[in-house]
Amino acid sequence: MAAINPYLTFDGNCDEAFEFYKSVFGGDFLTMMRFGDMDTGQPVQESEKNRVMHVALPIGPGNILMASDIPAAMGPLTIGNNFSISINADSEAEADKLFAGLSAGGKVTMPMGKVFWGAYFGMFTDKFGIQWMINYDYNQQK
- DSSP-derived secondary structure for 15-51: HHHHHHHHHHH-S--SEEEEGGG--SSS---GGGTTS
pLDDT score recorded for residue 140: 67
Nearest to 129 by CA among 67, 96, 80: 80
End-to-end alpha carbon distance in the chain: 12
Q: In 3-state terms, what secondary structure has residue 98?
A: helix
- Enumerate the domain spans of the chain: 3-137
pLDDT in tens, 40-81: 667 778 888 899 999 999 998 888 999 999 888 787 888 877
CATH topology of domain 3-137: 2,3-Dihydroxybiphenyl 1,2-Dioxygenase; domain 1 (3.10.180)
